[in-house]
A and B are shown apart, each in its own frame.
Chain A
Amino acid sequence: ETGVTQTPRHLVMGMTNKKSLKCEQHLGHNAMYWYKQSAKKPLELMFVYSLEERVENNSVPSRFSPECPNSSHLFLHLHTLQPEDSALYLCASSQEGAGARNYGYTFGSGTRLTVV
């Protein structure tokens, strides 16, 4: 497989559940990102990993917990979410530096999360 793959595509979870979103990239990139896309709101950058280390956390609530075990995989662990967390969660990857400047980011298709 090539590109950025996100699973699952759709997820419905209760507020007391614990679930995880998975992202996998086969592009040889060294940076990965989580974005949140809510209806009628701009894209929100949640987390950035560069060389498997978290380099940015844009004041995201602790009920979202990222994990990057290696440069190809990124997880977003979810627990005790709220209905307002319902959104499309997008994963992206890039090659830091000249790669990103010249080629931008590659996005996955997203996970549509509904919290009930």
Chain B
Amino acid sequence: GNSVTQMEGPVTLSEEAFLTINCTYTATGYPSLFWYVQYPGEGLQLLLKATKADDKGSNKGFEATYRKETTSFHLEKGSVQVSDSAVYFCALDPKAAGNKLTFGGGTRVLVKP
């Protein structure tokens, strides 16, 4: 079956530090891959996406590259801000009829001033 594994948090870092959140997946074929972000007290928001191998998704200074060879979609940001404190979810859509988004367990990130 399809699955998404992400690093467990919480990840605590200082403002302007480099952030990496690892995400690996298991799926047949070539799924679409997503990162969602959940700010405190809110629902999930789509942060970025990639629909095929070697695509790079980017938004708000965050980037992730779809690596088919390592089945990974790691999220990175070069210089985090306090406002980036949130829970980040990696997800895949298997592109098969009737299949739904599969989410990872989420990684909580806390950025301290």
Contact = CB atoms under 8 A, between A and B. Distances in A.
Given A42-B103, A42-B105, A43-B89, A106 B98 contact: no
Contacts of B98: 55
Contacts, number: 53
B43 A104 contact: no
Given A42-B105, A48-B100, A105-B101, A100 B93 contact: yes
Contacts of A102: 32, 49, 51
A41 B99 CA distance: 22
15 contacts: A4-B43, A6-B43, A33-B100, A43-B103, A48-B100, A100-B93, A101-B51, A101-B95, A103-B46, A103-B49, A104-B34, A107-B36, A108-B43, A109-B43, A110-B42
A74 interface: no
A15 interface: no
Contacts of B45: 107
Max chain B C-beta neighbours (<10 A), residue from A104, A106, A108, A110: A104
Contacts of B32: 101-102, 104
Max chain B C-beta neighbours (<10 A), residue from A43, A56, A92, A109: A43
Nearest to A102: B51
Interface in A57-116: 90, 92, 97, 100-110, 112
Interface of B: 32, 34, 36, 41-46, 49, 51, 89, 91, 93, 95, 97-98, 100-101, 103-106
Nearest to A9: B41
Contacts of B95: 101
A104 B101 contact: yes
Interface of A: 4, 6, 33, 42-43, 45, 48, 55-56, 90, 92, 97, 100-110, 112
A69 B113 CA distance: 48
Contacts of A112: 41
Nearest to A58: B100
Contact of A90 (B34, B44, B91): B44
